[in-house]
Amino acid sequence: MISRRSFLSQSAATAAAAAAAGLTLAPSCARNRGRRLEIAVVWSDGELDRFREVLRAYPEPVDVTSAGDDIGAFLNARHRAGNSPDLAVLPFPGLMRQLVADSRLTSIPETDVLRDRYPRAWLDLLKIDGVLYGVWVKAAHKSLFWRLPTSPIAEADTWEGLVSQVDQAAGDPDLPAPLAIGAADGWVLTDWLENLLAARLTCDTYHRLSRGHDRWHDGQVVKAFGDLFDMWHGPGRFPGGASRALLTQHEEAVLQVFGTKTALTVFEGDFVTSVIGRFAEPGDPQPEFFPFPAPAAVEGEQPLVVGGDAAVLLNDSQGAADLLAWLTEPDSFAPWMAAGGFLIPNQKAHDAHRYHDPLQRRLAQQLLDATEPRFDLSDLLSGTLGGADGQGSWRFLQDFFLAATQPGAQRQRVVAEVTARFSAAARHYEGSKSLDRHACS
C-alpha cells in the first residue's frame, strides 16, 4: 500500500478543519500541486449526471471520468501510464483488496467523526486487516421483492411459503407468470443465491466463501442451491418461459411487472424504483415491496444483502483527502437524494431529511439498522470466482438456471454439478486479502 505520511505537527486551524471533515490530514501535502482533481467512477448516463450535479457544490473544480463497466482495467491502464486519478469510486470491495495488495491505495484514519456518520458494520466492510480504505458514497438494498398492490404474490413468512405461492400462480392459466427475472444479467441470479446464503450461513462462513475458501460443497450451501432449484423449476414460472428469461435483462424484467404486467413480482434491489419511475404514467399505482424470506429452518431475522460504491484515495495529497472528506458531509449528496434512486449508509445524511420520498427513507433506515449486512458476494470475489459478463459466478449461475429450469431436471444432480463447479473455481482462486473479520459482530 502507499505509505502514509507521518503525522507531523499541525497548526490548530488545519487540525480543526481535518477533524470537522472526519479525516486526519498532514499539512505538508500540497493541496493538489496546482492541477484539477480527478475522480474516476463507474457511473454513466443519469447517474453520472447526478454525481456531476453533486460536485458543483464543491469549492474546487473536479474532473469526473466515467471508467465504464470495467473500472479495474481502466485504473490499471492509468497506473501503467503514470497518471492515475486522484480518487476512484469502486463498485465492489474485491477490487479494493487488489489495489491494496498492489500498494496503490492510501488508508484512511478512522476518526470519531466517521464513526458518527457511518455505522460500524458499514465501516468494517471497507477494512482490510483492520485498516480502513474507503468511505461509502452510495449503497443498494438487495433483499426485496417488488409487486403491484393487486398482485396475488404477497409477503411470506418463509421461503417455502413463497415457493408455494409461486407454484399456485404458475398453475393458474388466468394469471400472469409469477416471476420476472432478468437472467441475461448474471448478477441478478447471484443476488438470489446471496440472499439464501446469507440466511443459511453465519456471517463468518459467508465471508469465508468470498475469500476463496473451498466451502461450496458444505451442507448449508448445497441447501441454498436446492432452495433456488425449488423456486425456479417448473412450468409457467417466467413470462415466455425460462429460455426467454435468459434473454431478459434486469430493466425489462421490472417492466414485465410494472409495464406490460406479464409477471406478478420481481426480485431485486431498491434501484428497481428508478426503472419504474422512468416509465411510470400519471395515476399508476405505487409499487409495494416485501423482504426476501428466509427458509423455515433458519432461526432469527433474515440478514440484509447490500451493495454499494465506495470512494478511495489513489493520490496521497491534501486535495484528494479534502474531497474524500467532503463526500462524507451530510448535505453533499442532497441533490441526488432529492432526485430519487439513491441511498447512502450515512446517518447524518439520513438525519438531514433529504430523501426523495418516504419509501426511500424507509429503505435507507433499514440499511442503517443492519447489524450484520452481507455484502454482495459476487462483488467481493475476483479471479476465477469473480462476477463478470459470461465469466465466474455470473456464468455459473446462468448455467445453473438453465439446467434447473429444464423439464425433468433432477434436483440432486443439478445442485451437485453447480457446487462442484464453484468448488473447483475456489481451489484456483488467488485472492489472499479479505474483509476485516470484525465485519461480523
The span from the first CA to the last CA of the chain, in angstroms, equals 27
Q: What is the pLDDT of residue 438?
A: 46
**At a CB cut-off of 8 Å and minimum separation 6, what does 432 contact?**
101
Task: Map out the domains of the chain with their CATH numbers.
Answer: 12-141+306-369 (3.40.190.10), 148-299+377-439 (3.40.190.10)
Cell numbers given for 375: 455484502
Torsions phi, psi of 178, nearest 5?
-70, -30
Sites in the chain below the pLDDT cut of 50? 1-22, 24-31, 431-438
Question: How buried is 178 (Cβ within 10 angstroms: 0-12 exposed, 13-18 middle, 19+ buried)?
Answer: buried
Q: What is the pLDDT of residue 13?
A: 33
Q: What is the pLDDT of residue 43?
A: 94
Q: What is the pLDDT of residue 15?
A: 33
Sheet harboring 288-291: ordered strands across?
Answer: 177-180, 263-267, 144-147, 288-291
User: Nearest CA to 248 among 259, 240, 258?
Assistant: 240
Cell numbers given for 67: 471508467
Measured CA distances, 167 to 160, 178, 235 (Å) = 10, 8, 9
Q: What is the pLDDT of residue 123?
A: 95
b vs e for 109-124, b when ≥16 Cβ sit within 10 Å of the residue's Cβ?
bbbebbeebbbebbbb
Q: What is the pLDDT of residue 439?
A: 58
Q: What is the pLDDT of residue 377?
A: 86
Question: pTM of the predicted model, to two decimals?
Answer: 0.86
**At a CB cut-off of 8 Å and minimum separation 6, what does 239 contact?**
176, 177, 180, 245, 248, 256, 260, 262, 263
